[in-house]
């Protein structure tokens, strides 16, 4: 069984429609794929329908943008939650709104030095999609400032750049609680991705576990080797679900579908724990 539980469509910062993502997953030889767009679930219906047509397993999910009390970014994957649970929807709407304000600020700063503007960014973002730095990167590519998203993230869009602006997001402990209330399963995404910026202190892991965190995404290309050792010990100590996944973004990132996989027993645990939405298996 080839199971990949982390992939993005153009409902957020992936480059393919949810349906095309499912077709790509099938072409990549996957048996099960999860759709985990940032901060919204509007791709679920199309993905589920195409998965049913293709005969591939589908796990509806999402990746919630969070920020801990010290300002460190945390991404929380969740699976099989009730997509209509209002307290979670309220948080997500606020978060997507703050993303727009923040993206406009980044664009205003960049526009002082480069030929880009908000309209150009919108040309690279589907209406209603969760806007993020990748869409600004695409605008910079079309303006000829950088070669690709990766180059943009290495320089002008990096968290260390003078153009970088952060945005307020939900506390990861609250996100974990809301996912639980919505009948979903929460998995801390790429927790030791030190190349992307600061990683949380050990106390944040314990806070999230105390709040009811279900699992850790360990086999992910951005987790450091030492980080994976730490995560495996933590998962064993607290009997957490462990996942592996690609974090595919279509042509927007080098990550390939199926480059990391999740064990079938772990998917079984996710499905057995969740009560908010059905998986298609």
- What residues make contact with Fe ion under the rule CB under 5 A? 13, 75, 189
| Using rule CB under 6 A, residue 251 touches ligand AMP | no
CB atoms within 10 A of CB 67: 17
Nearest residue to Zn ion by CB is: 247
| Using rule CB under 6 A, residue 177 touches ligand AMP | no
Residues 6+ apart with CB under 8 A from 88: 81, 178, 179, 181, 182
Size of the site for Zn ion (CB under 5 A): 2
Partner whose binding site includes residue 253, from Fe ion, ligand AMP, Zn ion, none (CB under 5 to 8 Å by kind):
ligand AMP
| Using rule CB under 6 A, residue 191 touches ligand AMP | no
Q: Tell me how far, at minimum, the Cβ of 8 lies from Zn ion, in Å.
A: 6
- Output 150 or 194, the one with its CB closest to ligand AMP: 150
Partner whose binding site includes residue 153, from Zn ion, ligand AMP, Fe ion, none (CB under 5 to 8 Å by kind):
ligand AMP
CA–CA distances in Å: residue 108 to residues 130, 140, 196: 19, 13, 23
- Output 130 or 262, the one with its CB closest to ligand AMP: 130
Partner whose binding site includes residue 215, from Fe ion, ligand AMP, Zn ion, none (CB under 5 to 8 Å by kind):
none
| Using rule CB under 5 A, residue 171 touches Zn ion | no
- Output 48 or 75, the one with its CB closest to Fe ion: 75
Angle at 135 between CA 115 and CA 259, to 5 degrees: 135
| Using rule CB under 5 A, residue 4 touches Zn ion | no
**Residue 203: Cβ-neighbour burial (10 angstroms; 0-12, 13-18, 19+):** exposed
User: Residues 6, 96, 133, 220: which binds ligand AMP (CB under 6 A)?
Assistant: 133
| Using rule CB under 6 A, residue 217 touches ligand AMP | no
Partner whose binding site includes residue 48, from Fe ion, ligand AMP, Zn ion, none (CB under 5 to 8 Å by kind):
none
Helix (H) or strand (E) holding 27: helix 18-27
Q: Tell me how far, at minimum, the Cβ of 208 lies from Zn ion, in Å.
A: 17
CA–CA distances in Å: residue 238 to residues 209, 224, 258, 267: 8, 21, 27, 18
| Using rule CB under 6 A, residue 172 touches ligand AMP | no
- Residue spans of beta strands (DSSP E) within 9-132: 32-35, 57-67, 73-79
Partnered with residue 137 across adjacent β-strands are none
Q: Specify the length of the chain in residues.
A: 281
CB atoms within 10 A of CB 41: 23
Angle at 46 between CA 43 and CA 49, to 5 degrees: 140
| Using rule CB under 5 A, residue 37 touches Zn ion | no
User: Residues 6, 149, 180, 190: which binds ligand AMP (CB under 6 A)?
Assistant: 149
Residue numbers of the site for ligand AMP (CB under 6 A)?
13, 38, 132-134, 149-150, 153, 249, 252-253
């Amino acid at each position: 069984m080839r199971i990949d539980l982390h992939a993005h469509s153009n409902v957020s910062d992936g480059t393919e429609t949810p349906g095309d993502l499912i077709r790509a997953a099938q072409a990549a030889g996957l048996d099960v794929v999860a759709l985990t767009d940032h901060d919204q679930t509007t791709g679920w219906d199309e993905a589920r329908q195409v998965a049913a047509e293709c005969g591939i397993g589908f796990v509806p999910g999402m990746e919630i943008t969070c920020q801990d009390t010290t300002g460190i970014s945390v991404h929380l994957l969740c699976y099989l939650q009730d997509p209509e649970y209002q307290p979670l929807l309220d948080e997500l709407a606020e978060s997507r709104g703050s993303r727009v304000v923040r993206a406009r600020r980044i664009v205003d700063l960049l526009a002082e030095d480069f030929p880009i503007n908000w309209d150009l960014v919108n040309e690279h973002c589907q209406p209603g999609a969760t806007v993020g730095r990748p869409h600004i990167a695409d605008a910079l590519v079309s303006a000829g400032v950088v070669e690709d998203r990766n180059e943009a993230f290495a320089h002008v869009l990096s968290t260390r750049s003078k153009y970088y602006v952060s945005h307020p997001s939900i506390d990861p402990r609250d996100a974990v609680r809301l996912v639980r209330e919505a009948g979903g399963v929460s998995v801390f995404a790429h927790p030791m991705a030190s190349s992307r910026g600061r990683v949380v202190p050990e106390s944040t892991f314990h806070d999230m576990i105390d709040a009811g965190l279900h699992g850790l995404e360990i086999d992910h290309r951005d987790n450091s080797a030492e980080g994976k050792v730490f995560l495996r010990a933590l998962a064993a100590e607290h009997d957490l679900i462990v996942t592996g996944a690609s974090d595919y973004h279509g042509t927007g990132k080098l990550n390939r579908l199926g480059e990391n996989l999740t064990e079938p027993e772990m998917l079984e645990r996710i499905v057995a724990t969740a009560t908010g939405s059905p998986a298609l298996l």
